[in-house]
Amino acid sequence: MHTFSYKNGTLYCENTPLCDIAEAVGTPTYVYSKQTILDHFKGLQQALSPLDSEVSYAVKACSNLAILNLMAREGAGFDIVSGGELWRVVQAGGDPRRCTYAGVGKTPEEIRYALEQEIYCFNVESEAELRAIDEIAGSMGIKAPVAVRVNPNIEAGTHKYITTGKSENKFGVDFDRIEALYALIDEQMPNLEIKGLQMHIGSQLTQVKPFIEAVAKVAPLAARLKERYGIRFFSIGGGIGIVYDGALASGSPDWWEHNHQLTIDAYADSLVPLLQPLGLRILVEPGRVIVGNAGVMLTQCLYEKKGDAKTFKIVDAGMNDLIRPALYEGHHEIWPLQQHDDQDTVVADIVGPICESGDFLAQNRTVADVQQGEYLAVFSAGAYGFSMSSNYNSRPMAAEVLVDGSNWTVIRSRQSLEDLVRGEIIPE
């Protein structure tokens, strides 16, 4: 699952003591394990090998150039949602011709840039967007490759902010309207090339049932579109969840199965038989399952504050560094870099320095009774951690580090105070 463990009382990433990184780079700092990323990526590739398939890494999960370069060198495609993400892929050495471009609000400038870069396909979310792409492609004298994102109206069983496959969500086209829309493309949009079909029902799914229901519902539609319009691929999206709570502490690779969590093998074993008869190229668009448990955020305890109601451990990482607990009520395991005795614990809130009551990493949690100056590792922070961070409260953004065995590299320098105001101008 991951390569973070205690050795002689010190927390390591692969063969590197995390305290060495904390002392050298400072905190907050994100640390990623190269081995864990590769293990997860190759595991998914292998599980889907009975299909003509491609793993298209979801750039939004963790978009550092070093991570994207690693994915490109391993043969990944890329799921992008902005012109900026496409630019990142290109800068990292990725092939734009292996990029699928999703998102409901592509601007004309982004569409034109993507066409100039010859991306593999647009995953389109509305008729209005199709018409915009058709017009821009026509002005450029080319055909734009498109797939429409179908909304299968399947209950994903995940947080309301990250479900995407219901009819009330902003994403995709209603299932009962999709075939009419493909006919409209064929009849009225001469500058579009119908290339595939796409769906994505949500993120952080921990059961296989919603995936089975969605694929079973949409696969016959894909077969009909293949027969009528010659589509070449069916993208089934991403959304494979990871363990945030419990498994890290258990140390057992069987924890997933014993707790009925979704594994990569269970995912593939259930879906491959449904997809093989289609004879289509199958794209999957994972992010979290590849990088989520491959990353931790290091932070330092600044102060302890005891009140009548609670004990607070105040750390130097805030909601601007890791917003998942505040935004999604997300759980993250939190361990000290120097191991404490099992009895040396306290029930506390671990909170940051941001001027918001929602600025916490954990609430009412039994944690190691760390003291001022000690370091902590916030686990499962590799996905939607740094990529969702901000400069709120004028705080410089954290550093990022990639570990490879006993070697490590700063892959993003910590922002300076000068970086905070770069580009700002006081008018005369």
Residue 355 appears among annotated catalytic residues: yes
Q: How far apart are CA 318 and CA 225, in angstroms?
A: 48
Q: Is 244 annotated as a binding residue?
A: no
The catalytic residue among 99, 121, 301, 355 is: 355
| H or E element at residue 85 | helix 83-91
How many beta carbons lie within 10 A of that of residue 267, not counting itself? 23
Q: Are strands 29-33 and 399-404 parallel, antiparallel or unpaired?
A: parallel
Q: Is 395 annotated as a binding residue?
A: no
Q: Is 50 annotated as a binding residue?
A: no
Q: Is 333 annotated as a binding residue?
A: no
Tell me the C-alpha to C-alpha distance, in Å, between residue 37 and each of 70, 272, 299.
9, 23, 22
What value, to the nearest 5°, has the Cα angle with vertex 56 and ends 291 and 156? Answer: 75
Joined tokens for residue 92 = 């990292």
Q: Is 288 annotated as a binding residue?
A: yes
- Name 427's Cβ contacts closer than 8 Å, sequence gap at least 6: none
Q: How far apart are CA 332 and CA 321, in angstroms?
A: 14
Q: Is 287 annotated as a binding residue?
A: yes
Q: Is 93 annotated as a binding residue?
A: no
Contact 111, 146 (CB under 8 A): no
User: Which 3 state secondary structure label does DSSP give 377?
Assistant: strand
Residues placed in the known binding site: 239, 285-288, 324, 328, 356, 384
Q: Which residues are catalytic?
A: 355
Residues placed in the known binding site for substrate: 288, 324, 328, 356, 384
Residues placed in the known binding site for pyridoxal 5'-phosphate: 239, 285-288, 384
